[in-house]
Amino acid sequence: MLRGHLTRTRLVAVLGVAAGVLIGAVVGQPSTGLAAGSNTKPKPTAIPKITGAAEIGITLTASRGTWANKPTSFHYQWLQCDTAGANCVTIGGATAHVYTVTTHAEGHTIRVNVRAQNASGSATAQSAPTAVIPPGGCPPGTGAFPVGSLTPPGRLVVSAATVTPTVRRSTDTIQLHFTVTACGGRPVVGASVFATAIPYNQFAPAQGTTSANGTVVLTETSRSGFPASKDQHLLAVFVRAWKQGEPVDGGVSSSRVVSFHFAHHH
């Protein structure tokens, strides 16, 4: 009876040890808490890159770089650094994949941090610094400013363009609404603006000066060349903004072509 009792006791002990080994193999040892190979947080394989001219008023774009271990989300933070790309500080509110350089960046470089995340954790990679931001020719401050305060390499930007009323083939008069900005979106007061249709014989060209909020409205009347063809469905307009006294193709001037759809006919 004693031998049988010892045999059963030994059997229970052996089975207990075997069960512990099996459970440990499945769930991992208590000392680690995780099965081997489960730590697969993102890992950068190529750092983010910044594209765009490193100049005041220019919008920079960050790539997210390339990553191993299948990140599920990415987060951006732009940084302002010293001329060597060191001693960086975060730029408040600059958490999108694009960033427009402001006057505060003059004499500094810009970097971007990209943080990749998945269910196992996160990791951060940092871009190389941009070139040092040169003087932008912009006056201090954040609000509207007179065009006379803007100097190269600062440039005027026709940042918005609309037309009223909606263009139709029977339209006799249009009003072109433009907004002129510079230095990262600040309205420019007193900028000269000229606009003409393409081809030019569709509407009489007009010229005006931007107001205190950087806007101008130019009224143009139709000419014999409008519409340009029976199949026309867009009105293209050439618009130029400049500072009086500067050469046509120099200084702070800029130009662009905008287009407006004709109203649908039923």
Asked, colleague to colleague, whether 43-126 and 145-261 share their fold, the answer is yes
0.75 surpassed by pTM: no
Range of lowest pLDDT (48-52, 160-164, 180-184, 252-256): 180-184
Q: Where are the domains of the chain?
A: 43-126, 145-261
Q: Is 205's pLDDT higher than 70?
A: yes
How would residue 247 be classed by pLDDT, with cut points 50, 70 and 90? Answer: confident
**CA 52 remoteness from chain centre:** 10
Give the whole-angstrom CA distance, residue 73 versus residue 99. Answer: 19
Percent of the chain at pLDDT exceeding 70: 85
Q: Is 210's pLDDT higher than 60?
A: yes
Give the whole-angstrom CA distance, residue 176 versus residue 166. Answer: 11
**SS3 state of residue 190:** coil
Over residues 5-34, mean pLDDT: 41
More confident residue, 133 or 162: 162
Per CATH, domain 145-261 is 2.60.40.10: yes
Q: How far is CA 252 from CA 22, 73, 112, 181, 206, in A?
A: 76, 41, 29, 11, 20
Over residues 240-260, mean pLDDT: 92
Which architecture, in CATH terms, is 43-126?
Sandwich (2.60)
Give the whole-angstrom CA distance, residue 115 versus residue 71. Answer: 10
Range of lowest pLDDT (16-25, 177-186, 196-205, 252-261): 16-25
Q: Is 266's pLDDT higher than 70?
A: no
Q: Is 31's pLDDT higher than 50?
A: no
Which of 4-8, 13-17, 151-155, 246-250 has the highest mean predicted lDDT (pLDDT)? 151-155
Q: DSSP strand E in 6-156: where?
A: 43-46, 50-51, 59-62, 66-68, 73-81, 89-90, 98-100, 109-118, 121-126, 145-146
How would residue 5 be classed by pLDDT, with cut points 50, 70 and 90? Answer: very low
Over residues 207-222, mean pLDDT: 98
- pLDDT single digits (tens) 97-134: 999 998 889 899 999 999 999 999 999 999 999 999 98
